[in-house]
Structure 1
Amino acid sequence: MARKLVIGDLHGGLKALVQLLERLDLTPNDKLVFLGDYVDGWSDSANTVSYLIDLARQNSCIFLRGNHDDLAHRWLESGEMNQKWLEHGGQSSLDAYRRLNKKEKKAHIEFYRDMFNYYKDEDNRLFVHAGFTNLHGPEQEYHSTAFYWDRTLWEMALAMNHELEPGHHSYPRRLGHFKEIYIGHTPVTRIGETKPVNKANIWNVDTGAAFMGPISAIDVDTKEIYQSDPVHTFYPDEQGRN
């Protein structure tokens, strides 16, 4: 039976991603939704993108845009960079892309261009890297950067009264638009967790791959969780974004 699998932030941890897909027992019938941040962290940033490009020839894949992907794309396309990006994983991407030729870089630029800011499936589930701010839903979002930078959606879910049911007058309007929302961007390790966390109707699948955590995946129908080993164990001579 075909599965729809959501995969959290990667941050260049290709070796861990390969292990995760092996543990998933992936078949060509499975649909994969990647929540973004493919680069900036471990030394396989560029190799991770090359791998994803090849993977999309085998499986149906949705690639969402993360904030780190946007920053890397801007640098590849125009040379734009800033010190904050370099300090938060960008340097690893600069180093990794030095090993790619012009043809490979062109293919990567097309990959970045083709990413989605968000994806809504046939079951009214939303998939987005970070969140959205407009009360009327993502279609009415004023600034596209919110999709890959906003943290207020997750902060609201953490702070709200979890006894509230959809339809209650105090239930957040942003959440009421969707059956479920799947995000990354804010590692759940910040609240002491190592597996994807469910708050209200939001699932956060960022389990800290850029730091000391694993890469995680979740089956949206069964809620079965799959994980790699902690990504840093595959790169013992590196520091990632620590």
Structure 2
Amino acid sequence: MEAGFVKTEIDPSGLATITFGHPAHNSLPSATLEQLNAHIQSAAANPTSRLILLKSAGDRTFCAGASFDELLALADENAGKAFFSGFARVINTIRQSPKIIICRVQGKAVGGGVGLMAACDYCFASENAAVKLSEISINIGPFVIAPALERKIGLSAFTTLSLNPTTFFDAYWAARHGLIHAVQPTVDEMDIAIGQFSEPLLNKNTEALTALKRTLWQGTDHWEVLLYDLAGISGRLALSEESKQSLRKFKQR
């Protein structure tokens, strides 16, 4: 399996752009999740960064979520929990970051990719963006990302996403339900909008922005335990023969 990558660039204005990528539709195997977590922590702690932009490589898929190859290779419940805990760590790191994190979504997002969108503080997308929670299709469930999605879009919209695992919901559906904050017709126009949004924030008092972020995330401290408990549920279900068979069918398509 080819390796993914994560890189961070901080421009003179203080915008830290974290880019991740993987040949398999920007999926997130454990190694890439670990790198992503480390880069977010580093950018959050760097005194030269004032705002963080999270994006993926390429111009088609934002993020395909969990690596199916790695899911198929899971040998026991400990390995399963450890894999899904990678998503828990990234979500908690985004939550705990003292800096506002903006998400840039240029295309489709599936599973854990939708969770990343929900975890970020503000989300921009192009009209090419679409979201899908496919977990039920492979006989598991979107457990680790559920708290982030419920917080952002509410229980009803989360129910719609999770119980329609073969349906992509477009960017405007996601915007109506609060997952996306701004939709632009093209990727170029989205990038212009991100620049226009970011520029004034980069000149604002960082202490005030940090205090605002803490207010926005009030009531989520229990996620430090909750998300890892949910990772254990996903890890156990991923070991079932029904899940393995479904994963093999997906890979054959």
Which has the larger helix fraction? 2
Q: State TM-score, norm by structure 1.
A: 0.28
Question: More relative contact order in 1 or in 2 (CA 8 Å, sep 6+)?
Answer: 1
Q: State TM-score, norm by structure 2.
A: 0.27
